[in-house]
Amino acid sequence: MTRADAQDLDARDPLAPLRDEFILEEGLIYLDGNSLGPLQKGVSERVAQAIAQEWGRDLISSWSKNGWFDLPRRIGEKIAPLVGAGPGQVVVADGTSINIFKVLAAALGMQPGRTRILSEPGNFPTDLYMVQGMTELLGSENCELVLAEEDGIAEAIDDTTALVILTQVNFRSGRVHDMAAITQAAHEKGALVCWDLCHSTGALPVDLDGCGADFAVGCGYKYLNGGPGAPAYIYVAERHQKSVIQPLSGWHGHAAPFDFDTEYRPADTVNRYLCGTQPVLSMLALEQSLEIWSRVDMADVRKKSVALCEMFIALVEARCADMGFALVSPRASDQRGSQVAFAHEAGYAIMQALIAARVVGDFRAPDVMRFGFTPLYTRYVDVWDAVDRLVTVLESKAYENADFQLRAAIT
């Protein structure tokens, strides 16, 4: 493949026009949308309008007049098609970690006598930390974290397992779990399942309803491009919504908040998984960012994602052969999300040198260089140019610069 071949692919790409809807500096190759999506055109104006008019002039009337109060459900319904959820099962609220806490408590309450939460050591740390926190709160006799290697999850489920909690797309390697198979295996043993979709939503087709999932959580700031710290979402299958009262029983989860009852009565809907007042400006930024997805077919997104990743792997392995790189991500595209990870003993320094060369990826300890491919704005020529700049960094040994050896707090 040549650079001209990459340009030809861009010319024939049905998603290519969408790049113009993102604010990206000329010459910058942004391959870190799996950590933070870029700003979309129209978002700044939407938030500014909300500040000037809805907050500035309409003031408290905006909770009704401008629909602020309904934002969690309204935005949840816009996310639902991206995760294969029918109406009334997704609500936008809080952060991923807090939503995991809600799910953990609900699952334990729904599964009396079962105390184990099953996950894998490679799961995203916050998922594991929240289970550990629940154990501290309830005691190990009531909540216990059990870890199994990713290939042995199904076999590790037993009659003590209350919940299996997994990130569908591994944050380091990009490996994809078989959601349908693991969910079925858990249900056959009487366990529930929660899927962390932070690296899935907007990156590949997801079918929560189709595979019978119980719960799911996800964030709004990666592939959904909702902005730094954008609100997260929680999916609760309709069949479970009235099963338990999740413990963060805040005012917005009440059946009738403006009755101001002294006793908590949970909503009969997914609203019972709400807690406190939503951050309106962040919600509005996320809602505006989601507008683009109404014009996107996830099959097209996935097709381009696979092609971008395959191209990147082939170019790195061809042009950087014998330079110390080892593919960490699965080679088979159906087992890989929308990111590619390579290990290198100088991975951190190489990534810093690449960023200085205006190719932005990120690093995950101990030695993984991670590159995210976001089909709405990543071009085929970006892949070609990124590898070209990588070759320059390696051949010039730019990464040996002392400044690139200093490990920052955020990698």
Give tens-digit pLDDT for 141-152: 999 999 999 999
- Angle (CA) 263 270 141, round 5°: 70
Report, at the CATH architecture level, how domain 46-295 is classified. 3-Layer(aba) Sandwich (3.40)
Give catalytic status of residue 370 as yes or no: yes
Q: Cα separation of 89 and 270, whole Å?
A: 6
Q: Cα separation of 216 and 116, whole Å?
A: 18
- Segment 400-406 shows an average pLDDT of 90
Q: Which of 114, 116, 222, 364 is catalytic?
A: 222
Task: Please say if the pLDDT value at position 1 is more than 90.
Answer: no
Task: Please say if the pLDDT value at position 393 is more than 90.
Answer: yes
For residues 191 and 117, is the Cβ–Cβ distance under 8 A? Answer: no
Beta strands in 136-185 (DSSP E): 144-147, 161-167
CA atoms 30, 31, 36, 41: torsion sign: positive
Task: Please say if the pLDDT value at position 77 is more than 90.
Answer: yes
Q: Cα separation of 21 and 225, whole Å?
A: 12
Looking at every residue in the chain, the average pLDDT score rounds to: 96
Q: What is the domain partition of the chain in residue ranges?
A: 3-30+297-405, 46-295
Q: Cα separation of 131 and 126, whole Å?
A: 9
- Angle (CA) 328 36 209, round 5°: 75
Q: Which of 32, 94, 127, 196 is catalytic?
A: 196
CA 13 to chain centre: 25
Task: Output the pLDDT for position 405.
Answer: 87
Q: Cα separation of 343 and 346, whole Å?
A: 9
Q: Cα separation of 337 and 309, whole Å?
A: 9
Q: Which of 227, 231, 167, 160 is nearest to 199 (CA)?
A: 167
Token pair for 51: 């500040």
The tens digit of pLDDT for each residue in 334-379 reads 999 999 999 999 999 999 999 999 999 999 999 999 999 999 999 9
pLDDT band with cut points at 50, 70 and 90 for residue 411: confident
Task: Please say if the pLDDT value at position 409 is more than 90.
Answer: no
| Beta-carbon contacts of residue 153 (< 8 Å; ≥ 6 apart) | 118, 120, 164, 166, 177, 182, 185
Token pair for 45: 């104006």
> CB neighbours (10 Å) of residue 20?
10
Q: Which of 235, 182, 171 is nearest to 208 (CA)?
A: 235
- Segment 149-167 shows an average pLDDT of 96
Q: Which of 22, 221, 371, 373 is catalytic?
A: 221
Give catalytic status of residue 331 as yes or no: no
The tens digit of pLDDT for each residue in 233-289 reads 999 999 999 999 999 999 999 999 999 999 999 999 999 999 999 999 999 999 999
Q: Which of 124, 223, 377, 404 is catalytic?
A: 124
For residues 22 and 40, is the Cβ–Cβ distance under 8 A? Answer: yes
CA atoms 348, 353, 355, 361: torsion sign: negative
Q: Which of 78, 370, 379, 389 is catalytic?
A: 370
Task: Output the pLDDT for position 395.
Answer: 95
pLDDT band with cut points at 50, 70 and 90 for residue 225: very high
The tens digit of pLDDT for each residue in 79-136 reads 999 999 999 999 999 999 999 999 999 999 999 999 999 999 999 999 999 999 999 9
Q: Cα separation of 411 and 394, whole Å?
A: 20
* CA distances for 326 relative to 241, 316, 369, angstroms: 45, 10, 10
- Segment 312-337 shows an average pLDDT of 96
Give catalytic status of residue 312 as yes or no: no
With tokens 């349908």, the residue in question is 180
- Segment 4-24 shows an average pLDDT of 97
Q: Cα separation of 378 and 372, whole Å?
A: 9
With tokens 């690449």, the residue in question is 354
Q: Cα separation of 177 and 169, whole Å?
A: 7
CATH 2.60.40.1080 fits 3-30+297-405, yes or no: no
Task: Output the pLDDT for position 316.
Answer: 97
